[in-house]
A and B are shown apart, each in its own frame.
Chain A
Amino acid sequence: MDKKKDFRREPLTDTQLLMMITVIIFLAMYFLAMALLGGGFLHAQQIFDMLNDNAPLIIVSCGLTIVMIGGGIDISVGAVTSLVVMSCVLFLNNGGNIFTSILLALGIGLAFGLVQGFLISYLEIQPFIVTLAGMFFARGMTTILSVNPQKAENGAFNALREKKIEIGFLGYTAKNGNFVPARMELGVVLALLIVLVIFILLRYFRLGRGFYAMGGNQQSALMLGINVKRTRFMSYVISGLLSGISGYVFMMHTGAGNATNAAGMEMNAIASSIIGGTLLTGGVGNVFGTFFGTMTLTTIKKIVVSSGLNEPWWQSITTGGMLCFFILLQSVVLGRRNRSKKV
């Protein structure tokens, strides 16, 4: 109730608070892992590995964060990523060049964003249903394109894929005495760049401020003269576009198209956003938080593996527990703040 009353300042401070919690927990967890488990956690390469594996997830989560800040949901992102990977691999194998394949990836993502955004904001259909249909469509199209896994066999593309950024001073000496520099894939640079761009968009641009206003209170946003329909439309377009980019980065990482690529990525992206402090109710969130949310999720999985819990179920059970902890923490923190304001 009173959340609506002081709507002007509330969302921003909540955003910062929730992000702070995430960052602190992430750092604490990582340092604990370094101290107790040692091993791989002591090398800088561990962080780069986590980034390399999760660059697509980071990109997709950024898009989802924008949609969630605007009070919506987009569960088609993982399926679109998978469709982009499959179609680009097939395109490259049939004589396409790299530049056109990038355009194809962006085009597919944009098309999904445009159609879903139109249906949701201008025809006022529930976002969950529209993006669910989008997810079904993209998954179905992926298997229509090819049921069997396809490997990219385009020379130029594979050469691009092999290009890695080597950071000498962060390397380590392997057991056999060879020096291994820290390696980072090109996709990671892109992902970090996107995080920065989206942060600036959300912080300093009219459109970005519009997302917060719309998610906080749609009625007030309308009164402020924000074109709510167009803002919502734009949030889905950006999310679609980022899914396209994520698909390309995914392909750069794996180099093969598979119908089960990026399975469950939408839920991982939602989990990352939530851990990063984005509320599904809208109006609260931050892409830096989302970035740390993704890293927290990955760190948990790494810790489970390196602490010797080898049964296949432990990873997701601990992830679930972690998610539960964060969700409850947020609920309690925000609830307490709201109560103290009331008094």
Chain B
Amino acid sequence: MKEKFMKFRKGGLGQLTIPLIAIAILILFNLIRDPGFFSIEITHNNDGNAVLAGNLISVINGASELAVLAIGMTLVTAACGGQDISVGAAAAIAGSAFVKVLKSGPSISGGTVLLAFLCACIVAMLFAAFNGVLVAVFKIQPMIATLILYTCGRSIAYWINGGATPTVDSPIIRAIGRFIPGVPLPTPVLIVAGVTILFMLIFHFTSLELFTQSVGINGSAARLNGINDTFIKLLSFIILGFCVAVAGCIGVSRLELINHETLLLDVEMDAILAVAIGGNNLGGGKFKISGSIIGAYVIQILTTTLYAMKVSSTDVKAYKAVVIVLLVVIGSPVIKAKFAKLMARGRSSKQRVSMKGAK
């Protein structure tokens, strides 16, 4: 424990320092502004269930899609040294496939939902594999390769729906998007927890993390060491495809309708931002999934705080930008180096004394 504390004092938390500081600052700011921000109360929703409500709950609930996408985006960033900007469009496609299968039968049962989710997964993974092949086999930069799907993805979603925005009315979908009867926590939070645990298990039992990092740091060196870098890159995209499907289905269930234009709009930018705030290098290499997830929650706390301050939803972006710039300026290598020099100067005066003694 003591060791851990020393490590923390020396900044040994590494890349998690910035996101944790950001969360701390935001919480402190809210405490000063309005302590009521943190109140959590039990209310009864329309179905008569006892559920938790409050700003904190809406933060962890609202960040669900972003957190899931940030996990996949981190892997792609680490392995390929670039980002997938088509996740929002792909989520719209996955959501459309989800709704299409749901609407195909006369009634919606648990089995149909599962089948629909599997279909959404397969569709999203296929599109992700298309991106992955462009990146891994044809060696195209991820941002360029995914620009294709970014351009036409939402139109494909529109096409799947045949030019309509169908609604889904079913207690099961409502349970997925909001609350399961008897459980006070919103279901999307539980799904995020499930996905996080799944990835923790994958990283624990396979060498995926190590392989991804080595491919990201130096692909040729990884290949010489017997790692199939093409496959790892492709795999990272397919995993992102799974995350996209999960996020798309959460998004659809939350609204109980599919709107190809507005479903997870601009989420790709937020997901990349989450990865960057989490201290991961956007150029690939070493990564920490936990950093990205914390990054997603930082973005959501920021948004919720701004909403609580009565900033209109269209203006939020401007304030968000200012905070982002402050965060990245603090985290920038130049500022860090300057700061370290300043700290070293303070420490070196002590050292000089001891060195003189040695002479």
Contacts and interface: CB of A to CB of B under 8 A. Distances in A.
Asked whether A and B interact, the reply is yes
Interface of A: 1, 73, 119, 122-126, 128-130, 132-137, 139-141, 143-144, 147, 259, 267, 270-271, 274, 280-281, 311-317, 319-321, 323-324, 327-328, 331-332, 335
B155 A312 contact: yes
A309 to B, nearest CB: 12
Contacts of B322: 137
A6 to B, nearest CB: 19
Ranked 8 nearest A-B pairs via Cβ: A140-B318, A320-B152, A137-B321, A140-B317, A313-B155, A136-B321, A143-B314, A136-B317
Q: Give chain A's interface secondary structure class.
A: helix
Contacts of B66: none
Interface of B: 83, 134, 138-141, 143-145, 147-156, 158-159, 163, 220, 269, 272-273, 276, 282-283, 312, 314-322, 324-325, 328-329, 332-335
B249 to A, nearest CB: 22
Nearest to B130: A324
B152 A124 contact: no
A319 B144 contact: no
Contact of A129 (B150, B273, B318): B273
A267 B151 contact: yes
B71 to A, nearest CB: 19
Contacts of B139: 331, 335
Given A126-B282, A147-B314, A259-B314, A136 B324 contact: yes
Contact of A123 (B141, B149, B318, B334): B334
A327 B237 CA distance: 19
Contacts of A320: 148-149, 151-153, 155
Contacts of A259: 314
Contact of A313 (B83, B144, B159): B159
A140 B319 contact: yes
B163 A130 contact: no
B151 A316 contact: yes
B317 A316 contact: no
B314 A316 contact: no
5 contacts: A126-B282, A133-B328, A267-B147, A274-B144, A317-B156
B163 A312 contact: yes
B159 A317 contact: yes
Contacts of B148: 320, 323-324, 327
Nearest to A273: B144
Contacts of B332: 119, 123-125
Given A123-B329, A311-B163, A327-B145, A128 B152 contact: no
Given A132-B269, A136-B318, A280 B149 contact: no
A36 B182 CA distance: 65
Given A267-B150, A280-B143, A327-B148, A126 B276 contact: yes
Given A128-B83, A133-B321, 15 more contacts: A73-B143, A119-B328, A128-B282, A129-B273, A132-B324, A133-B325, A136-B269, A137-B318, A140-B321, A270-B147, A312-B163, A314-B155, A323-B147, A327-B148, A335-B138
A319 B152 contact: yes
B51 to A, nearest CB: 33
A137 B316 CA distance: 9
A62 B321 CA distance: 25
A271 B144 CA distance: 8
Contacts of A124: 332-334
A331 B138 contact: yes
B317 A132 contact: no
Given A144-B315, A313-B155, A133 B141 contact: no
Contact of A316 (B154, B333, B335): B154
A335 B276 CA distance: 31
Contacts of B144: 270, 274, 280, 327
Nearest to B333: A124
Contacts of A1: 220
Given A134-B321, A316-B155, A119 B83 contact: no
A173 B248 CA distance: 53
B350 to A, nearest CB: 30
